[in-house]
Amino acid sequence: MAARVFSGIQPTGSLHLGNYLGAIKSYVELQDRYDAIYCIVDDHALTIRPDPAELRANVREVAKTLLACGLDPKRCTLFVQSHVPQHTELAWILTCVTAYGELGRMTQFKDKSEQAESKGDFISAGLFVYPVLQAADILLYRASIVPVGEDQVQHLELARDIVRRFHSVYGETFVEPQPLLSPAKRILGLDGVHKMSKSRGNEIGLLEAPETIRKKLAPAKTDEARKRRQDPGEPTKCNIYSLHRFVTPAATLPVIEVGCRTAGIGCLDCKGILAESIETIAKPIRERAAAIDANPKAIDDALEQGARRATEIAGATIQQVRERTGLR
């Protein structure tokens, strides 16, 4: 049996280029080499209390986008976290072998709790134990490889700590998971400062119309040195160039690099080429998404089949965990 891959993605609605380059592209590649399991983590989404109807719609939107990006229910398992209640059951058990102090050190918790406070919102305990639920997701399937962006590496270290603590109390049960980072492990948003994310509003949506993407790119920051068209620039200081590196064919990159350094091309030209490169990736995804819109049952079928297989594996693991911990 091939080694097992597991990853989770939040149902935040429309996925963006950072999600695609940092994670989904590897999900697609991994499905042929591994036993790949991918989960839309709606229980995690509750930590920020989305509107119920919106959450339900977002789960479907993310499922559709993942299928459109090339996840194939025949070659991988795609399911929704809340369809497999063993995730929350194991999360509780793991909470009891997780150190409080460790959770307080999680960068994502610090970020998200600051965001909540700045909006005058309270910080939910769910936000605090979020990484334990994430560990449960992975451990239930005894996955050894977890393709993620850089922001998730700390959560995986915690998952390994949890495995070791569980083992020292109850004996060998799980597999220690390792992160698998793609070369595009941290794509910056159009502000050129923060990582691309929907909550910052600095994203390029995967299903966005090409004209919208062009409009968003137009005001995006480039190398500060290029104030006028004839000023030469330094590609390594430009976020637009850093995006080119992940979407533009390798043969074209030197043309852009030299063009920037010699002011042979302007920033707008450079953004035009970037928009074309993005369109080459996005067009087939948009077309497949439209085909799924015409046949929405494909989403239900994929998720149902995925939940069935996930439940089988998760059910066997949780049974063992209940026995080892004295719950049964």
- Active site (catalytic) residues: 112, 195, 198
**Whose CB is nearest to ligand TRP?**
8
Q: Where are the alpha helices (DSSP H) in 85-152?
A: 86-95, 100-104, 107-118, 125-140
Q: Is there a contact between 291 and 59 (Cβ–Cβ < 8 Å)? A: no
For residue 113, state whether it binds ligand TRP (rule: CB under 6 A).
no
Q: Left, alpha or beta for 171 (phi > 0: left; psi -120 to 50: alpha)? A: left
Q: Which of 210, 214, 217, 263 has its CA nearest to residue 240?
A: 217
Considering the complex, state which of residue 6 and residue 20 has its C-beta at the smaller distance from ligand TRP: 6
For residue 10, state whether it binds ligand TRP (rule: CB under 6 A).
yes
Considering the complex, state which of residue 13 and residue 272 has its C-beta at the smaller distance from ligand TRP: 13
Which range in 127-135, 178-186, 257-265, 314-322 contacts ligand AMP by CB under 6 A? Answer: 178-186
CA distance linking residue 129 with residue 123, whole number of Å: 11
Residue 289, amino acid: A
Q: Choosing among ligand AMP, ligand TRP, none, which partner's interface includes residue 138 (Cβ < 5 to 8 Å by kind)? A: ligand TRP
Per-residue binding string, ligand AMP, 179-198, x by CB under 6 A, is -----xxxx-------xxx-
For residue 44, state whether it binds ligand TRP (rule: CB under 6 A).
yes
Q: Which of 273, 280, 239, 278 has its CA nearest to residue 259?
A: 273
CA distance linking residue 144 with residue 164, whole number of Å: 14
Q: Which residues bind ligand TRP (CB under 6 A)?
A: 6-8, 10, 41, 44, 134, 137-138, 146, 148, 152, 155
Q: Which residues bind ligand AMP (CB under 6 A)?
A: 9-10, 12, 18-19, 22-23, 148-149, 151-152, 184-187, 195-197
